[in-house]
A and B are shown apart, each in its own frame.
Chain A
Amino acid sequence: MIAHRAFAIVFAAFVSGCIGVPTPVPSPAEDLVAYDQFVFIDDDLADGEAVWIDKSGARRTATGTLEVWAQLRNQTGEPIELEARVRFFDRDRVPLEGPSGWTRMFLTPKGITTFRAFSTGTTEVIHFYVEIQEGA
């Protein structure tokens, strides 16, 4: 009886683990994306101790594209390398274009730098989402 049960368990493990029973993937909740924000996606930076965002904003350029910018401050006594990229969305928060390329920034100890990026679209671009990570 025990042997039968063991056989059943092994068989069930085999079927579920190796053949692969599809598990439902939770759909990404809209609220998970912090629109119009600059977000540190690195755990090391997420606590906001090492790098501060002094100022940030977005404005229309003369050609109608959207410019987003942020002034970043290195709070540490060590140089920090950062990378940032931006995604743009329309009024309904539908992504309009792929993410920009990563922009590399070098922060001197206690220094500041500016991240600046433009959308390719014009009036349809309303929202943005900037990811910042430590440079590799």
Chain B
Amino acid sequence: MLCRGATTQLRIRAVTGALLLFALAACAAPPPPRTVYVDPASRGTVGGVGVESNDLLSMTDEMMRDMLAAPSLFRRPSPRVIVDGAYFENEGATRLNVNLITDRLRVELNRAARGRMTFVGRHLSEMVRSERAMKRSGAVTSGEGAPAPAPAGADFRLGGRVTTLDAVNPTSGVRSRTHQIVFEMIDLETGVLEWSGMYTFRKESLDDVIYR
């Protein structure tokens, strides 16, 4: 038979042990989340021979910086430019929405240019046309700004093309794809190409990744 003091000691030990176990369980590393955020500028774990997010970021960043350093685009103060996907073709084997490229380029360029270029949103021209028509018909009042005789024309427009070159080793199954992505800024009066940029990369992979 145990005395009262010994019983109390045993209880305290049991509680301490339970707390220790609880503390250890609570401190153990949590299970890995099913979904994780990944730096889009880095190579992810899912990758094939196509265009990945890191390619997209590096490519648009390089082109944007190169354009801002091109004196041929800045002969006029704040030239008006159109940067959209209307004349940017994907002729390559990679499944790719070219708006990913042109949208990012336009936004990054617009933010970085800070007035050195003026951007004409030709991809939203239907919206502008509709609003102008409503203002002029009296359906809505005019805005605070002075009415313009016509929507803004542009000095330059971006054109471009994505092309690819594929090769497969039937023995090893290794696939190789070279992407050549050309960017050109054309003078909309003369047709002269005032700036050109090219981004080329080649990837080899055994992975069969599906691009959607």
| A120 touching B65, Cβ below 8 Å | yes
User: Cβ of B27: which chain A residues have Cβ within 8 Å of it?
Assistant: 14, 17-18
| B16 touching A63, Cβ below 8 Å | no
* A123–chain B nearest beta-carbon distance, Å: 12
Which label, helix, strand, loop or mixed, suits the secondary structure of the A interface? mixed
Chain B interfacial positions (CB closer than 8 Å to A): 9, 12-13, 15-16, 19-20, 22-23, 26-27, 41-43, 54, 57-62, 64-66, 68-71, 74, 112-114, 116, 201
Which of A11, A62, A118 interacts with B71 by CB under 8 Å?
Answer: A62
| B58 touching A7, Cβ below 8 Å | no
| B16 touching A10, Cβ below 8 Å | yes
- Residue A29, interface by CB 8 Å: no
Which of A63, A104, A119 interacts with B70 by CB under 8 Å?
Answer: A63
The residue in chain A whose Cβ has the minimal distance to the Cβ of B71 is A62
State which of A38-46, A48-56, A94-102 sits at the interface with chain B.
A94-102
User: Cβ of B116: which chain A residues have Cβ within 8 Å of it?
Assistant: 63
* B40–chain A nearest beta-carbon distance, Å: 10
Which of A7, A17, A120 interacts with B68 by CB under 8 Å?
Answer: A120
